[in-house]
Amino acid sequence: MSERIIKFTEAIKEATDQVMEKDASVFVVGLGVTYKNGADGTTGGLKEKYPGRVFDVPVSEAAFTGMAVGAAINGLHPIVHHGRVEFALFAADQIFTQASKWNYMFGGNNPVPIVFRIAVGRQWGNGPQHTQALYSLFGNTLGLKVVIPSTPRMAKGLLIAALQDKNPVVFLEPRWLYATKQDVPEKIYSVPLDKAHVVREGDAVTVVAYGDGLVASIEACEILGEDASGVELIDLVSLNPIDHETIARSVAKTGRIICIDTTNNAFNVGSEVISKVAQNTSIKLKNNPASLSCPNVPCPTSTALTEFYYPTKVDVANAILGLLGKSLIKKELSFEELHLAPSIVIK
Amino acid sequence: MFLIRTVEQEIAALYMKNKIMSFVHFCVGQEAVAVGVCDALKNEDKVMGNHRSHGHYLAKGGDLKKLMCEILGKENGFAGGNGGSMHMIDKSVNFAGSTPILGSITPVACGAAFEQKYNNNGGISVGFIGDGASEEGVVYETLNLAALLKLPFLLVIENNLHAVNTRLHERRGENHNIEKIVAGFGVKYLRADGNDYQDVLAKAKTLVEDVRNGKGPAVLECITYRHMAHSAPIFDENYREEDVLEKRLEEDSLKKLRGQVAESGVSEEKLSTIEKELHGEVSGSIQFALDSMFPPKENLYKNLYV
């Protein structure tokens, strides 16, 4: 079969398009989603193809998100797009209190089929109020399903699965990955929303990562070459629920775990993962669990400072080597590698 | 209206006997708003409410036994005890849900109207909020959005003069004018005497007709009196200015309606019989609820997801 290399953003658009074609209840709402390059290139052209089903809206996040929640409660299946998580917080009540609790508080049989597409995380020059990821905030909220696509193939499969689910799904898109490319099947396919994905198998160390941290981990394995042969790399995929079973199975085999977070250290995802591993009496760890994350300060704007903010592929590689008791490597990264979003082709 | 009043009074009596462990906000005094608006609607129209929605639920035809069971935390409640008094729902009569985060229900009810327009099914949606909730920003965002999309959405603001115990003039500038604000969005606004069923009904009918005919959203503000305290069946008088006890009794919507019905030729005997029947229905429902089972422990873990 010939390869079909497409971008992360194209994979999202393709998933949206293919589901909209089959399911008339699906519509898209968000700021600028009707633009040619709408929603970072993920919705352009859809309004022309599906008139009356793609809505640019006033800058009123709480209202249009709440309206979509109401539409979902009454049988439609909206995709709500927020270009930055900070703006989604204007609609926090609707996401965290209304959509997430609706089915439980009415005793079941009250589905809220809705997808909240929210772009999160790093991007050069965006500073403290445009780069938050807030993974723990979403992961901590009961009643939401929360996924983070880490590659174009996952992005398409997860979005289709989210649109086939009857529950509110928060789709946290690491903006940093929008230009990454991958061979993506053209057909409609879905990926389970609640399962971690073993990206590569190994028996010496389990690396748990998600989003841009997963891509950094894939690149770290490339740097490590032969030294990566024992790495079992797990794409976490879902924050709610976390697939502790897959992680436990892996760590029981490797005896070592390292978690890669691309958000600050306090209350992060790695802490949750490591906590459950530590409590699992059937796992005998060979080393203390390790964790890489951002420091407990907001992400600044100047590249002179952001250079030290996110764990790089070299940091990940060295963390793996350190856990395996091997000597560390020294590798200078270029300005582009440090500060510009990757446009690599992921295998 | 008599049914709602009786239900509220009976719930209040149970509340005082510590039989109710669900936060209750009573609508005694405000019944004409719920009934007047719902009487202007068709069955297929949808209604959504707030923390004080027993009346809205019953006025739309919601099941009384399920309501009583829910308030008493029983498995036979419409939400199996997960919701309680502040989370009412009966989809069989298109009462599409109520939530207690005040202004929140405004965009959600607008979303119900969005679905009706999207599927062009002819229905309209109504959201009930209070005057306190109407001070939250999302309400105004929603009016603009609903006007932009010309949605079949009627927002009813039940103005009982208080946000908990805080009076209007303690929350609004002296020249505050809700009619002008709503008009500024290009949205039609009418004000009704919320203590007068006939006035609410007439104005609701006018707006419902416009909304149904595709003229976009509308706002009906009903000035009314909350006889009881914010969330307890007591009659705290300290903070009241206009709606003092004497005035509340004089303007009581139920008394007014009863008088009008009697004047129209319905005999006292007939009225008493109906009231007795309704009272019996309420008592029966309470007994049914008292006799119903509490939900089993395992239900705690059910229904987080569909």
DSSP A28-65: EEETTTTSTTHHHHTSTTHHHHSTTSEE---S-HHHHH
DSSP-assigned states of every residue in B107-128:
HHHHHHHHHHHHTT-S--EEEE
Give the span between the Cα atoms of A24 and A12, in whole angstroms: 18
From the candidates A55, A61, A67, A100, which should be mutated to test the interface with B, based on the most B CB atoms within 10 A? Answer: A67
Query: In chain A, which stretches have pLDDT less than 50?
Result: none
Q: Using an 8 Å CB-CB cutoff, list chain A residues near B302.
A: 108
CB of B148 within 8 Å of a chain A CB? The answer is yes
Assign B285 to helix, strand or coil. helix
Give the span between the Cα atoms of B73 and B64, in whole angstroms: 14
Q: Name the token pair of B237.
A: 């008088």
pLDDT value at residue A282 = 95
DSSP-assigned states of every residue in A111-180:
---EEEEEEES--TT--TTT----HHHHHTSTT-EEE---SHHHHHHHHHHHHH-SSEEEEEEEGGGTT-
Say whether B111 and A73 touch across the interface (CB within 8 A).
yes
Q: Using an 8 Å CB-CB cutoff, list chain B residues near A73.
A: 96-97, 108, 111-112
| Tens-place pLDDT, residues A185-244 | 999 999 999 999 999 999 999 999 999 999 999 999 999 999 999 999 999 999 999 999
Give the span between the Cα atoms of A144 and B153, in whole angstroms: 28
Give the span between the Cα atoms of B69 and B74, in whole angstroms: 5
CA angle, corner A18, sides to A17 and A20, nearest 5?
Answer: 65
Sorted by where each starts, the structural domains of chain A and their CATH numbers stand as: 5-183 (3.40.50.970), 197-346 (3.40.50.920)
From the candidates B138, B153, B299, which should be mutated to test the interface with A, based on the most A CB atoms within 10 A? Answer: B138
**How many other β-carbons are positioned within 10 Å of the β-carbon of residue A230?**
17
Q: Name the token pair of B185.
A: 């969005």
Q: How far is the alpha carbon of B240 from chain A, nearest alpha carbon, in Å?
A: 31
Note which residues in 102-121 of chain B have CB less than 8 A from chain A: 104, 106-116, 118-119
pLDDT value at residue A2 = 75
Measuring CA to CA, how many Å separate B301 from each of A107, A203, B262?
11, 36, 52
Query: In chain B, which stretches have pLDDT less than 70?
Result: none
* Nearest residue of chain A to residue B109 (CA atoms): A70
Output b/e per residue, A16-54; b: 16+ Cβ within 10 A: bebbbeeeebbbbbbbbbbeeebbbbbbbebbeebeebb
- Note the Cα A103 to chain centre separation in Å: 25
Q: Name the token pair of B61.
A: 């035809």
Say whether A103 and B107 touch across the interface (CB within 8 A).
no
Assign A257 to helix, strand or coil. strand
Give the span between the Cα atoms of A285 and A282, in whole angstroms: 10
Q: Using an 8 Å CB-CB cutoff, list chain B residues near A66.
A: 104, 106-108, 110-111, 138, 142
What is the residue whose two structure tokens read 């898109």? Answer: A173
CA angle, corner A271, sides to A266 and A273, nearest 5?
Answer: 155
Assign B208 to helix, strand or coil. helix
Q: Name the token pair of B68.
A: 């009583």
**How many other β-carbons are positioned within 10 Å of the β-carbon of residue A109?**
11
Q: How far is the alpha carbon of B236 from chain A, nearest alpha carbon, in Å?
A: 31
**Domain B29-66+86-267: assigned CATH number:** 3.40.50.970
What is the residue whose two structure tokens read 């705690």? Answer: B300
Q: Using an 8 Å CB-CB cutoff, list chain A residues near B99.
A: 97-98, 105
Of the candidates B82, B101, B145, the beta carbon closest to that of A93 is on B101
Residues facing residue A78 across a β-bridge: A27
CA angle, corner B217, sides to B216 and B218, nearest 5?
Answer: 125
Contact A83, A40 (CB under 8 A): yes
3-state helix, strand, coil in chain A (%, to 5): 40, 20, 40
* Nearest residue of chain A to residue B89 (CA atoms): A106
Measuring CA to CA, how many Å separate A52 from each of A25, A49, A55, A77, B208?
11, 10, 7, 14, 25
Assign A182 to helix, strand or coil. strand
CB of B142 within 8 Å of a chain A CB? The answer is yes
Of the candidates B79, B104, B114, the beta carbon closest to that of A107 is on B79
Nearest to B103 by CA among B128, B83, B86: B128
Of the candidates A52, A75, A166, the beta carbon closest to that of B306 is on A166
Q: Name the token pair of B251.
A: 């303007």
pLDDT value at residue A1 = 58
Measuring CA to CA, how many Å separate A162 from each of A67, A114, A169, B170?
19, 8, 6, 46
Give the span between the Cα atoms of B86 and B57, in whole angstroms: 11
- Note the Cα B258 to chain centre separation in Å: 20
Sign of CA dihedral B111, B114, B120, B123: positive
